[in-house]
Amino acid sequence: MSTHSSLLEVKNLNVQFLTPEGELQAVRDVSFSLRQGETLGVVGESGSGKSQTMLAMMGLLAKNARAEGQVLFKGDNLLNLPTAQLNRVRGPKLAMIFQDPMTCLNPFLTIERQMTEVLETHQNASRGQARAAAQKMLEKLRIADPLRCLKSYPHQFSGGMRQRIMIAMALLSQPDVLIADEPTTALDVTVQAQIVALLRQLQQEHGTSIIMVTHDLGLVAGLSDQVMVMYGGRVMEHAQADDIFYHTRHPYTRALLESVPRLEHADDALLAIPGMPPSLRNMPVGCPFAPRCARADSDCQRPAPLSLVNEGAAQHWVACHHTGAQA
């Protein structure tokens, strides 16, 4: 799953948490690559390891966690960089939009101060230059009266507006890679559509690579070039977006797709995946999805390695013992 022209390449990333009950494995052997201007959708239910993968890449894991493997950004392994060097990459080159903007925005500082700080710190911009750039970015995000917005505090805005401000802050330094972790959670569908359209527009203008982390397969459909499906801390399926949607190989991906509401089946009962995602403390011995999978058999008591089922330019990787037929 790597290419020589990759801007970002993650190889065999593992994340462990040290707890009083022992070591818990949150992410196992995750690998992927991202080229300039490309979008990767990372999909899975809560607890599948999506956010921990991204936090490990950014060097933002909790104190009791450790990451192993490689996160190669333009050839440098971010996992080995000292904090001072990592800070020169994190923010200006590799930016992240978090799930909850209210916990990420400082309630005591104006929006202007929080936005201009990035440019003043990383690009040696003057206060005036930084303010002008912040205003322009807010205008791009179609925020009415950007000057009034800059003078305001986070609590004065709705969730959707705060999320736009977070996106504006992340994009101010025109990062090479933008990680969007559930950027539209708790927003209504109209605002969701606006934010997705905005990310697509900014990507076209700046050539930004995007990692869209979500539990919503519908959200990544119109935005992603490739999709990686995670469950129980592992990659279940990884392929070009069209292949994921039209040539699904993993039962978990199929179950996620079937649980997406569709207008043409508005009168049908919603399909839900039976059972619950596994706890890190009680992970199944074999395939993590086996206890919820209708196709599970004795083979599934062994972990299925991530295998290439379709070679060539459109590679399709699946971790399932039953990849002979479509899921």
Give me the chain's average pLDDT, please: 88
What is the DSSP code (8-state) at residue 63?
T
Give the predicted TM-score (pTM) of the model: 0.90
Rg for the chain, CA atoms, rounded: 20
How is residue 201 written in tokens? 């527009």
Q: Looking at per-residue confidence, does 314 or 294 come out higher?
A: 294
How much of the chain exceeds pLDDT 90, in percent?
58
Contact (Cβ atoms closer than 8 angstroms) between residue 179 and residue 211: yes
Instruction: Report the distance separating Cα 185 and Cα 322, nearest Å.
Output: 33
Contact (Cβ atoms closer than 8 angstroms) between residue 78 and residue 61: no
Task: Please name the helix (run of DSSP H) or strand (run of DSSP E) that holds residue 306, with its range, or none.
Answer: none
Instruction: State residue 2's pLDDT score.
Output: 47
Residue with tokens 């309630």: 107
3-state secondary structure 77-113: EHHHCCHHHHHHHECCCEEEECCCHHHHCCCCCCHHH
pLDDT in tens, 191-245: 778 778 878 887 888 889 999 998 888 788 888 999 999 999 999 999 999 999 9
Query: What average pLDDT score do residues 267-287 get?
Result: 83
Query: What average pLDDT score do residues 178-200 get?
Result: 80
Measure CA 57 to chain center.
Answer: 11
Residue ranges of domains in the chain: 8-93+173-318, 102-172
In DSSP terms, 71 is beta-bridged to: 10
Count of C-beta atoms within a 10 Å radius of residue 25: 16
Residue 311 has pLDDT above 80, yes or no: no
Instruction: Report the distance separating Cα 232 and Cα 46, nearest Å.
Output: 10
- How are strands ordered across the β-sheet holding 76-77? 22-34, 8-19, 65-73, 76-77
In the chain, the amino acid numbered 159 is G
How is residue 204 written in tokens? 């076209």
Counting every residue, how long is the chain? 327
Handedness of CA 256, 280, 70, 321 (dihedral sign): negative
Mode of pairing for the β-strands spanning 226-231 and 234-240: antiparallel
Exposed, middle or buried: residue 232 (CB in 10 Å: 0-12, 13-18, 19+)?
Answer: buried
Instruction: State residue 104's pLDDT score.
Output: 82
Residue 324 has pLDDT above 80, yes or no: no
Residue with tokens 């948490």: 17
Range of weakest confidence among 19-23, 184-188, 210-214, 250-254? 184-188
CA distances from 69 to 11, 44, 91, 93 (A): 6, 22, 22, 21
Count of C-beta atoms within a 10 Å radius of residue 85: 12
pLDDT in tens, 19-70: 998 999 999 999 999 999 999 999 999 889 999 999 999 999 999 999 999 9
Residue with tokens 């494995």: 25
CATH of domain 8-93+173-318: 3.40.50.300
